[in-house]
Amino acid sequence: MEARNIEAIVRLIEKQVEATLEVPESVVIRNAVTELVNSYVEGKIDDKELEANLELLKKFGLDDREIELIRIFARKARTRRLTRYGQ
C-alpha cells in the first residue's frame, strides 16, 4: 500500500509540473503589452511601431477599448518620462 501512495504522489507531482510549464495565454499577452509599453516609453519604438503592434494585439483577442487604454497609458507614461528626464 505504501508503494501505491508513492506512485500517486509521483503522478500528482508530475501533473503539477506539467501545469506549471503551461503558461496561460493571458500571461503571455500581458507580458507582451508590458514590453510594448516599456519599449515605447523608453523611446525604442516610435508612434508608428506602437500603432502597428497594438493592431496585432487584436488578433489575440484584445478589443478596441482595451487597445485604446493601452495607447493612452503608453503615451501618458512616455510624456511623464520625457518631462522628468528629457530626451
Instruction: Tell me the pLDDT of the chain (87 aa) as tens digits.
Output: 455 566 777 777 777 666 666 666 788 888 889 999 999 999 998 999 999 999 988 888 899 999 999 999 999 999 999 999 886
The model's pTM:
0.71
- As a whole number of angstroms, the distance between CA 38 and CA 27 comes to 16
Helices (H) and strands (E) in the chain, counts: 4, 0
Residue 23 sits at φ, ψ, to 5 deg, of -85, 125
pLDDT at 34 (0 to 100): 92
Place of cell 501505491: 4
Please state, in angstroms and rounded to a whole number, the distance separating the CA atoms of residues 48 and 57.
Answer: 15
